[in-house]
Chain A
Amino acid sequence: MRELKIRKPALPHDQQPIVLAGMNARALREQRFGWALVFPSVFIILALILYPVVYNIYLSFFEFKLTGDNIFVGLRNYLGVITDSEFHLAVRATLVYVVFSTVGTTLLGLGVALVMNKKFPLRSFVRSLILLPYVAPVISVVFSWQFIFDPVNGIFMDVFHNKLGLFAERFSLIGSPDTAIWVAILFGIWKNFPFTYLMILSRLQAIDETLYEAAEVDGASGWQKFKSITLPEVYFVVSALILLRVIWNFNKFEEVYLLTSNVKVLSVYTYLKAFTGTMDLGQGSTLAVLQFVILIGFILFYVKKVLKW
């Protein structure tokens, strides 16, 4: 400690006490070499991720001008957004979208994984077939869906209105603002459940068979085996998948916007606000910051309470 006290004033601030603890020149070189190795990645992360995030937060306090003369407006953008009824609608639409699409994706993924874990003929073929929606390009499946639901020429109306007579009149399921969100949710579930299924299936295959054998010896029913063995075994995988799905769906833009264009979840609303109509990049940035804050709040809560990390 005495040595520390003596040397401290002579050292530049950025060379921390590690050196002071008696580090030799070689260790110092190695440390520098280490920094040189990680520098490219750190630089890329700072330049491509941190800088836009910080700039976005900075912009949210300004009225953005195309000419570059931004005007500082303090919290006015935040007040404007929070008191805007369209923002409240966007939050509500986002919650509905995230909750239903996450629950749907997870349940369907879990169910399909359980079925696919059983042995049956052509199982590997069916397993890979299920992955198709997930690997198909968004834009091509979006166009297929739009065609299916086209009110005049689509097959959906042809079957349910013309052939079966379930609907009294033709309507645009994707176009109508009331029904579009449900189509978007259905699309999200259909497109993304294979990922959930794949993750859960890989976990299911790692469960020790002897656990089930022991349970059978004890006379456990199918449901009891599922509840007491399968569920606890897949709990953390499913919880992690839910967390990822919530994050992904909360920020989901391309699927929702390309398919419907009128379901204003937060990401779509932010885009519309920032880049269309009377383009307001200041308020757009504010929305992005709020979206980020809401999401971080949820992640912290979830990680602490559900994942118990």
Chain B
Amino acid sequence: MKRGTVCFIALLLILTSAANVFAQGQQAVETRPTGPVTIEFWTTETQSDRMATIQVLIDTFSALNPGITVNLVPVDENDLVTQAQTAYAAKSLPAIFEAPAETAVSFGTQGIVDVATTTRLIEKIGKDRFYAGPLKVLETTGKGDYYAIPYHGWIQGIWYRADWFEKAGLNPPTTWEDILKAAKYFYRPELNQYGILVGTLPEAYTEQCFTPIAMSNGAALFDANKKLVFNSPEMREAVEFYAELAKYNPPGPQTWRARDYYLQGKMAMFFYSTYIMDDLALQEAAMGSLTGDNFKDLIGTDFDPDLVGKTRVASIVTNTSSAGYGTVVSLGLFDQGDPAKTAAAQKFLEYLYTPNAYVTFLHMAPGGMNPMLKEIATNARFQNDPMGLFKRYGTEKMAEIIDGLENIETFSIVGGNRIEAASEITAKQIIPQMLYKITQENVSVTNAMAWAETEMKKLVK
């Protein structure tokens, strides 16, 4: 992000936050810590431009709350659990973390999250102001308490070259049959062109691709009685189908970074979140993706300004049933054992939910970061994003995406009940490891699934 833009945001925030100063000042009297407090904030927004924006928010907050210093620490999403484990052992957990809901629940079940303060904070912000679906994902089994607070979320789908599909007379990739047919059709390695991108590295992205495929076949990790039912015929079919799709991937183990092959016109379809919208639509963002922090493996290529018009998204996968997939990203509080730090963290989180700070945060990735407070979705400033995505895609399409968050499906919600062990399994990346074994190490489906089941049982016991 340009320095000018950052300065402008800072100025805007300071000016527009003036109205909140009085209210915040009053709250500060209630909870103001006795001396200066320093807290850490772990963010998964590791790209430099996003960190710059968050830093602007922190600076604004610090100007309003001189006694509180917030240190921003970037932590890769895939390293969160490891980092938390070592930080816990070293007694240096940060006050605040940003994490996917499944990871937050996993932290919660390990007893390292401040559930009481989190729940109080949700009540204070106003439970009714949140979308119900995302809140449900973060609820404790006992109900009524929460492991973390939903902050933003994204929907995943299969993004595909509609112009290629039309030319080939193929159906949009919504059913298993159509996805496989198109993947086969467009897989032309001799032309350096590939059919599809599904994750095959043992990373979070792989599970994100696999989940809607499994769920669309009625496969689950647990039944309603919280019994592990992973090793089922439905799951086996889903795993076999996924392994078949992976044959039409670009060569070698792959992760989300390979979406750049799509931007270069070398791939027909790829699983991705709505984060891709700005890359597809905007030259600056796409160039940044191709050459910047995101993808050090590849050099850039000419941007295709018509790509957004040629791309469509299939957000639901259908086989025996239909399934969509998305992720709620939450903000949580690690147990600090220090009331001053907890109070400071609470204050900072409250600040992040004020409209101006919230919209500024979400505008880091329009389309990718969608609000969890209903009123923000209809907020005029939110709909007027600096990249002009709402205008480009249309407010209606964007509203559809945000509404999709209400019905997020994951392995950890069965029959309306949250199953913590499923979040543990996701956080420990057992399914991605299994898929890596099958697709890259040629381990048989039977053996890999047996291995995964054994690992899952270790967590469930």
**Which A residues contact B (CB, under 8 angstroms)?**
66-67, 143, 146-147, 150-153, 169-172, 174-177, 261-262, 275-279
Contact = CB atoms under 8 A, between A and B. Distances in A.
A277 B433 contact: yes
A66 B82 CA distance: 11
B309 interface: no
Contacts, number: 78
A262 B440 contact: yes
A169 B189 CA distance: 7
B298 interface: yes
Interface in B52-95: 81-82, 85-86, 88-89
B320 interface: no
Nearest to A179: B252
A147 B260 CA distance: 13
A160 to B, nearest CB: 13
Contacts of B433: 277
B251 A151 contact: yes
Given A143-B297, A152-B250, 7 more contacts: A146-B296, A147-B296, A147-B298, A147-B299, A174-B252, A262-B253, A278-B459
B296 A175 contact: no
Nearest to B193: A152
B233 interface: no
Interface in B186-243: 189-190, 192, 194, 201-202
B252 A175 contact: yes
B248 to A, nearest CB: 13
A177 B440 contact: yes
Interface in B262-294: 264, 266
Main secondary structure of the interface of A (DSSP, over half): loop
A224 B193 CA distance: 57
Contacts of B455: 277-278
Nearest to A172: B252
B296 A171 contact: no
20 contacts: A66-B88, A66-B112, A67-B111, A143-B296, A147-B296, A152-B261, A152-B266, A153-B261, A169-B189, A169-B190, A170-B251, A171-B251, A172-B253, A175-B254, A261-B201, A275-B85, A276-B82, A277-B429, A278-B459, A279-B85
Given A170-B189, A170-B192, A172-B253, A66 B89 contact: yes
A153 B298 contact: yes
B167 interface: no
B428 interface: yes
A150 B82 contact: no
Contacts of A279: 81-82, 85, 428
Interface string B296-311: 1111000000000000
B3 interface: no
Contacts of A170: 189, 192, 251
A171 B429 CA distance: 26
B252 A151 contact: yes
A55 to B, nearest CB: 11
A276 B111 CA distance: 19
A253 B452 CA distance: 26
Contacts of A176: 252, 440
Contacts of A150: 297-298
The bracket for how many chain B residues form the interface is 35 or more
A18 B85 CA distance: 50
A235 to B, nearest CB: 42
A253 B441 CA distance: 21
B192 A177 contact: no
A146 B250 contact: no
A146 B297 contact: yes
A261 B254 CA distance: 12
Contacts of A177: 440-441
B34 interface: no
B430 interface: yes
A172 B255 CA distance: 13
A147 B82 contact: no
A176 B252 CA distance: 6
A238 B297 CA distance: 37
Contacts of B299: 147, 153
A118 to B, nearest CB: 39
A277 to B, nearest CB: 5
Which of B111, B297, B299, B428 has the largest count of A CB atoms less than 10 A from its CB?
A: B297
Contacts of B202: 276
B458 A278 contact: yes
A66 B89 CA distance: 7
A171 B436 CA distance: 16
A254 to B, nearest CB: 15
A174 B459 CA distance: 32
Contacts of B298: 147, 150, 153
A285 B428 CA distance: 19
Nearest to B301: A153
B157 to A, nearest CB: 23
B147 to A, nearest CB: 16
B252 A171 contact: yes
Contacts of A175: 251-254, 440
A-B interface, 6 closest residue pairs, ranked by CB to CB distance from nearest: A172-B252, A175-B252, A151-B251, A143-B296, A275-B82, A172-B251
Contacts of B251: 151-152, 169-172, 175
B430 A278 contact: yes
A277 B430 contact: yes
Interface in B14-45: none
Nearest to B110: A66
B114 to A, nearest CB: 16
A177 B441 CA distance: 7
A262 B252 CA distance: 11
A143 B258 CA distance: 15
B459 to A, nearest CB: 6
